[in-house]
């Protein structure tokens, strides 16, 4: 088995202290596992709502915070035990694009400043002309020309343009992996396709893999190869994006997909859905499945222990739900019936 590009092993992150009352803790991510292969380049979606742990995951991968337990391996090397030189190389190979196209720019500098800094810090070019050539190449990749944009100030560009520049900046370092944390959610809906298109091109033409972190299943469905759907720190379902979204198994994922407004006035939301008004408050369930309070199919065993990821098919599709606690050939579709408790939980 070839060594993966990125491997996250059984990683947990618990927040304590700070403004939390003494003794109180927040389990942001629990026993999380993820693998991104060295090749081919893929776009993997990490999808979830507020509180799902997806931003924590991004911060862990980028090294902004350390895990409470577990390991994060980049090409086999634990990022916590890397030497300074390895860390620099890691920073070069794993880049990020963040959500807010306003916040990442220093408003006092012209936008070319973001490129100048990178070139200087990573010593990418021996001369001004070489630097300029590199920048032009990166801008071309995102459909912009240097003479049109470099001398402008951030407020003179649109959100979409600023975000594209951020992708260009990440690309400048020829990374292997770009962690994109909600890259299009603050960009106008009509301009999102442009940025997603750039991601696809970078994947296909430059072999750059992406971790696309989002709460928007529609865009994830359009561009991602694989998807992990998180619920309050654990993976609810994962697998091939098309399979998971077209045939969701976990009750939470089914609810999520049902709630995406379909752009067809003839397909209105199912208006008989019961929507608990407490749903935004974080689940008080400490052991067992976090989705229990909201789950229409919950069973007693769901409270005892967090369900493991069961196989849904012979591929990579898995769902963490006791409804699927049996071989795929016998599994019920849609989870409509309660299972006989033939095995211990």
Partner 1 sequence: MTVTLNGMNTDRKTTSNATVLEVKNLRVHYATPLGDVIAVNGVDLKVFEGETIGLVGESGCGKSTLAMSILRLVQPPGRIVSGQIQIHGIDLIALSERELRQVRWNQIALIPQGAMNSLNPVMRVKGQIAEAIETHQVQRSPQELKERILRLLAMVGLPGRVYDMYPHELSGGMKQRVCIAMAIALTPSVIIADEPTSALDVVVQRVVAQTLLDVKRTLGVSMILIGHDMGLMAQLVDRIAVMYAGNIVEIAPVKDIFAEPLHPYTQLLLASIPSVKERKPLVVTEGLTHDLRRPPPGCIFQLRCPFVMDKCREVVPPLRELRPNHYAACHLY
216 binds partner 1 (CB under 8 A): yes
For partner 1, the binding residue among 25, 121, 156, 259 (CB under 8 A) is 259
- The Cα 271–Cα 246 span in angstroms is 21
C-beta of residue 98 within 8 angstroms of C-beta of residue 181: yes
Task: For partner 1, give the closer residue by CB, 134 or 168.
Answer: 168
Site string for partner 1, 176-205 (x = CB under 8 A): ------------xxxxxxx-xx--x-----
Site string for partner 1, 275-304 (x = CB under 8 A): xxxxxxx-----------------------
C-beta of residue 250 within 8 angstroms of C-beta of residue 258: no
255 binds partner 1 (CB under 8 A): yes
- Quick one: CA torsion of 265, 269, 270, 273, rounded to 10 degrees? -160
| Alpha-carbon dihedral sign for residues 310, 312, 317, 321 | negative
Segment 53-82, which members bind partner 1 (CB under 8 A)? none
21 binds partner 1 (CB under 8 A): no
Closest distance to partner 1 from the beta carbon of 258 (Å): 8
Reference 143, options 221, 214, 199; nearest CA is 199
Task: For partner 1, give the closer residue by CB, 76 or 265.
Answer: 265
How many other C-beta atoms can be found within 10 angstroms of the C-beta atom of residue 343?
10
How many other C-beta atoms can be found within 10 angstroms of the C-beta atom of residue 279?
11
- The Cα 283–Cα 291 span in angstroms is 8
Quick one: which segment of 23-31, 61-69, 122-130, 250-258 binds partner 1 (CB under 8 A)?
250-258
Task: For partner 1, give the closer residue by CB, 34 or 187.
Answer: 187
Q: How many residues bind partner 1 (CB under 8 A)?
A: 50
List interacting residues with partner 1 (CB under 8 A).
Answer: 49-50, 158-160, 188-194, 196-197, 200, 215-219, 221-223, 242, 245, 255-257, 259-269, 271-281
């Amino acid at each position: 088995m070839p060594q993966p590009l990125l491997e996250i092993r059984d990683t947990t992150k618990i927040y304590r202290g700070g403004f939390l009352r003494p003794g109180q803790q927040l389990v942001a991510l629990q026993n999380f596992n993820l693998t991104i292969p060295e090749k081919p380049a893929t776009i993997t979606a990490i999808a979830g709502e507020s509180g799902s742990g997806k931003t924590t995951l991004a911060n862990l991968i980028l090294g902004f915070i350390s895990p409470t337990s577990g390991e994060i391996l980049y090409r086999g090397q634990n990022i916590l035990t890397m030497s300074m030189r390895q860390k620099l190389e890691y920073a070069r190979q794993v880049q990020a694009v963040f959500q807010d196209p306003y916040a990442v720019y220093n408003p006092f500098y012209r936008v070319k400043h973001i490129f100048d800094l990178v070139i200087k810090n990573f010593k990418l070019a021996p001369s001004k002309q070489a630097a300029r050539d590199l920048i032009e190449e990166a801008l071309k990749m995102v459909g912009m020309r240097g003479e049109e944009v470099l001398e402008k100030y951030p407020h003179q560009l649109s959100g979409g343009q600023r975000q594209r520049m951020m992708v260009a900046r990440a690309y400048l370092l020829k990374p292997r992996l770009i962690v994109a944390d909600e890259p299009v959610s603050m960009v106008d809906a009509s301009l999102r396709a442009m940025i997603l298109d750039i991601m696809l091109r970078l994947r296909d033409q430059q072999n750059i893999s992406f971790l696309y972190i989002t709460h928007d299943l529609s865009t994830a469905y359009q561009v991602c190869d694989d998807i992990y759907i998180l619920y309050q720190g654990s993976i609810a379902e994962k697998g091939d994006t098309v399979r998971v979204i077209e045939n969701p198994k976990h009750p939470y994922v089914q609810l999520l997909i049902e709630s995406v407004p379909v752009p067809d006035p003839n397909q209105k939301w199912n208006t008989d859905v019961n929507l608990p008004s407490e749903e935004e408050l974080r689940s008080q369930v400490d052991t067992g499945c976090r989705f229990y309070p909201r789950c229409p199919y919950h069973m007693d065993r769901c409270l005892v222990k967090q369900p493991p990821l069961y196989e849904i098919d012979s591929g990579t599709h898995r769902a963490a739900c006791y409804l699927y606690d049996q071989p795929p050939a016998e599994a019920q579709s849609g989870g409509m019936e309660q299972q006989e408790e033939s095995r211990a939980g």
